[in-house]
Amino acid sequence: MSFWTDALGTETRFRDAAGWRTRSIEAGDGDPVILMGGLTGHAEAFLRNLVPLAERGLRVYAIDALGHGLTARPTDVTYHAPVFTEHLIGFLDAIGARRAHLVGQSLGGWTALYTALKHPDRVGKVVSVTGAGLLLSDDGRAEESEKVHAKVRSVTAKAAAAPTRESVRQRLEWLMVDPATVTDELVECRYRYYTLPGAEAALAKLVAEQPSEENRAHLLDEDALKRITHETLVVWTDHNPTTPAEVGRRASQILPNASFDMITDAGHWPMFEQPDQFNRIVGDFLTADPR
């Protein structure tokens, strides 16, 4: 009914991850799972998933990525894939987790796979949800990837520059099949994060650098995907406004140990728009015995 009622039973902590103050919303006991959202997103995106996944016997952490939400917004970093991974590894150290399952949506999916590639021993299972960062070599896919990249850059830059509640709402509605999914408090949170005092420079850097040409060097191409041997679930939706489902399906075939699933009646945010489907699919995958 509201963020607060969804969150009843969770904890909101601020932890030091690699020297950066990091907000984490946490619940449950069991194997650690990190939930990570998309570009300019925030941990509230997972408030409908924390308690249900915790009830599956998992210790779940929804974190604000570096430069996002209520986490630190440094201006002395470059917001490319490696820094998000550095922050995530710092977070795993902070919670004393040698290894954690990673669930990443959009940019978070890129971070999850990039981290699995660079720090394979720190990662358990991986879930990439309408994930970014995939570069396939099929005809037309590279071009399409560039188009998506450019589109994300343009809608995000527009929302983050001189934000109003209305522009923030429009950016959020773009993520959903049903615009009514965007609640007033979701708009309010994001508006507040876009207008945090003193955070302007870091936000401008983030929205310029993350979707930049230079960061494309860190995309996961087919060779990289072949080297990620973790048990992986690629989740897509029937109405994703960025990359088509076919890319996710194909990536799941290239990844050596991956499966694919679809969530219906959802756009870019299935965890928020279709939480029951999401919690069942992701909960089943994370709690199944290793294949």
Partner 1 sequence: MSLWTELLGAEVGFVHAGGVRTRVVSLGEGPPVVLLHGRGGHLETFARNLPALAGAGRRAVAFDLLGHGLTGRLADASYTVGELADHALGVLDALGLGRVDLVGQSLGGWAAALLALRAPERVRGLALIEPAGLQSEAERLADGAVRAAYERGGRAYAEPTPEAVRTRLAGLLADPVGVDSELVAVRTALYRPEEARRVHRLVRAADNTPYLLTPERLSQLDLPVLLLRGEHGHTPDAVVAAARAALPRGRRLDVPGAKQWPQYERPDLVNDALIDFFGKENP
Nearer to partner 1, 68 or 230 (CB): 68
Least CB distance to partner 1 at residue 46 (A): 13
Q: Using the rule CB under 8 A, is 7 a contact of partner 1?
A: yes
**Binding partner 1 by CB under 8 A: which of 17, 37, 44, 59?**
44
Q: Using the rule CB under 8 A, is 166 a contact of partner 1?
A: no
**Binding partner 1 by CB under 8 A: which of 9, 19, 57, 179?**
9
Q: Using the rule CB under 8 A, is 5 a contact of partner 1?
A: yes
From the list 5-13, 91-99, 167-175, 265-273, the region that binds partner 1 by CB under 8 A is 5-13
Residue 132: both structure tokens together: 């970014």
Main-chain dihedrals φ then ψ at residue 12, nearest 5 degrees: -115, 115
Q: Using the rule CB under 8 A, is 4 a contact of partner 1?
A: yes
Whether the Cβ atoms of residue 189 and residue 2 lie closer than 8 Å to each other: no
Nearer to partner 1, 9 or 256 (CB): 9
Residue 248: both structure tokens together: 């996710």
Q: Using the rule CB under 8 A, is 256 a contact of partner 1?
A: no
Rounded to whole angstroms, the Cα distance separating 59 from 27 reads 6
In angstroms, the Cα distances linking 236 to 19, 30, 33, 157, 250 are 34, 26, 19, 24, 11
CA nearest to 220, candidates 251, 261, 262: 251
**Binding partner 1 by CB under 8 A: which of 13, 56, 80, 99?**
13
**Binding partner 1 by CB under 8 A: which of 184, 265, 276, 284?**
184
Least CB distance to partner 1 at residue 240 (A): 27
Least CB distance to partner 1 at residue 185 (A): 4
Rounded to whole angstroms, the Cα distance separating 207 from 275 reads 28
**Binding partner 1 by CB under 8 A: which of 189, 202, 207, 219?**
189
CA nearest to 11, candidates 50, 68, 38, 37: 50
**Binding partner 1 by CB under 8 A: which of 17, 39, 70, 97?**
70
Site size toward partner 1 (CB under 8 A) is 20
The residue to which tokens 């990443």 are assigned: 104
Nearer to partner 1, 15 or 230 (CB): 15
Neighbours of 101 (CB within 10 A): 25
From the list 111-119, 138-146, 148-156, 181-189, the region that binds partner 1 by CB under 8 A is 181-189
Least CB distance to partner 1 at residue 280 (A): 22
Nearer to partner 1, 9 or 244 (CB): 9
CA nearest to 49, candidates 222, 276, 290: 276
Whether the Cβ atoms of residue 263 and residue 237 lie closer than 8 Å to each other: yes
| Secondary-structure percent of the chain, ordered helix, strand, coil, rounded to 5 | 45, 20, 35
Rounded to whole angstroms, the Cα distance separating 147 from 279 reads 31
Least CB distance to partner 1 at residue 192 (A): 6
Q: Using the rule CB under 8 A, is 260 a contact of partner 1?
A: no
Helices marked H in the chain — which ranges? Answer: 3-7, 50-54, 81-94, 107-118, 141-160, 165-173, 184-194, 200-209, 222-226, 245-254, 270-273, 275-287
Q: Which residues contact partner 1 by CB under 8 A? A: 1-5, 7-14, 44, 70, 184-185, 188-189, 192
